[in-house]
Structures are given as structure tokens and as C-alpha cells.
Amino acid sequence: MSDLLTKLAKAIAKEKIKVIDLTQTLRPSTPVIQLPPPFAPSAPFSIEEISRYDDKGPAWYWNNLAMGEHTGTHFDAPIHWVTGKDYRDGATDTVPVQRFIAPAVVIDCSKEAKKDEKFLLTPKHILAWEKKHGTIPKGSWVLMRTDWSKREDPAKFLNMKEDGPHVPGPNADAVRLLVERDVNGWGVEAVGTDAGQAFSFEPAFPAHALMHGSNKFGLASLCNLDKLPPTGAVIVTAPLKIEHGSGSPLRVIALVHDED
């Protein structure tokens, strides 16, 4: 078995296995999900210099950080939602670490999302994908490619309108089907795992209510999903080990076997 890991390390060093960063850069302008009152807002990302090779620290540079757990590219743990609150292995510090390394399949919805900012992924789309690529394997991440991460203007990324955000996502039946497939979690390029209009769905916010209610994870604000194959990638998604944390920003890294 040690041979297997040696081969893996060599393949990475030789770029036979490509390492792809699915993470957005954290900065003060990083868009944060906006909730209507009376709900409490999440703090934006902020960074404050402690010292930078100066009187406060002549040989070292470092910063203090502040942010909500759900800022930038981030992980949603099952206890994030009331439906998952009782999972003892559902917090950032209690999730079995094995679940932080898992295969990922990518459903390309970029054309649909370009045409319709409120595009909803339905079971019909998932079944059509499965007809082409095979049944979604148990324990996989399912990532929805929309190219939403290419919206560099934070206002266009959040896309808030009078009737709430216009952002693509899954409908409730699509999430039910993914839960049936026993996936590891659901990941998107948008600011949250649910569609912009998901407050009006039944149940409301199904990618949270149903996924976390089944002890499954979420990933939001991913990028570079256009660089992944539909099947075959493995992603590493370890959140910070915050005691009883509901999620955390993280670096999401994909391993992709370069076949040629």
C-alpha cells in the first residue's frame, strides 16, 4: 500500500495528476450572503496588520483576521442547519476526516445559467447526466458548474433583485435525488448552496434543509469547475477545526488525472 502513495506523490510531482485550486481569494471585497431583516448578518472578511518588518515586529509580517464562518469559498457542516443540529459527527471538529477526501462529479449547467439567472437544476437534468456518465457514485461530491465564479463584480455575483437574489441552484426534488444517491455533499459556485429564490421552495432552502438533515455537506463559492472533468476528480475539503463550528472558509483542492 505504501507503493500506492509513493506512486501518487510521483504522479503529482510529474503533473500526471494535476492539482487544481477551486478556491476564491479571500479579501475585504469577498461577497457575503445577505439576509433580509430581522435576520442577523454575517461579518465580512477583514484583515488588520499586526506588524510588517517594522517597529511592531522588525523581522516578521502577520495579520489578524475576522470573518463569519460562511465567508468566501467555504464548507457547510451538517449542524449549520436546524435539520442537522443533532448529528454528533456533524460539526467542523467532529466530522470524520476521511470524508474530507472524496471523488467529485461535475454537472455542467453553464449554458443554462447563462440563459437564465434563476436556472434550477431538476432531477431531469441529473438523470440525463447519469445516462451519459453513469449513476452518481455513493460518497461523491456533486458540483454544479454555472461559471458564476466568473462574475468578478460582487454585486453581480450576489445578483440581488427586488424579489430576492437571482442565482441558479437545485430545486427540492434534485436535492432529494442526490440524498437518495447518498452523496458526500453538494457544491456550487454561488455564494450559497441554495438557489437565490430557495426561500420560497418547499421545503425552504432544500440544499441546506435536506442535505444537512441527511448529514451531508455543502461547498459554496467554488471556482475553476470548468477545469474539472465530469467524473474522475478527487477533491480535498478540510475545514478549520473550529470547536462546534458550523462551517469555515477552506482551500478546496482537486486532483485530476491527466490521461494524455
Could you list the residues that contact Mn ion (CB under 5 A)? 70, 76
Nearer to Mn ion, 76 or 189 (CB): 76
Backbone φ and ψ for 176, nearest 5 degrees, come out as: -55, -45
Asked if 178 and 136 touch (Cβ cutoff 8 Å), the reply is yes
Query: Would you call 212 a catalytic residue per the annotation?
Result: no
Nearer to Mn ion by Cβ, of 70 and 145: the residue is 70
CB of 38 to Mn ion, least distance (A): 20
Name 64's bridge partners: 48
Rounded CA separation 182/156 (Å): 33
- Least distance (Å) between residue 83 CB and Mn ion: 14
What does the block give as the cell for 149? 465564479
Would you give the distance in Å from CA 114 to the centre of its chain? 20
Closest residue to Mn ion: CB criterion: 70
Closest contact distance (angstroms) between CB of 45 and Mn ion is 14
Residue whose CB is less far from Mn ion, 239 or 255: 239
Do residues 149 and 24 touch, judged by C-beta distance below 8 A? yes
The minimum distance between CB 75 and Mn ion, in angstroms, equals: 8
User: Given the complex with Mn ion, which of 78 and 125 has the nearer CB atom?
Assistant: 78
CB of 193 to Mn ion, least distance (A): 7
Q: Which is nearer to Mn ion, 22 or 255 (CB)?
A: 22
Q: Which of 80, 125, 208, 212 is catalytic?
A: 80
Catalytic residues: 80
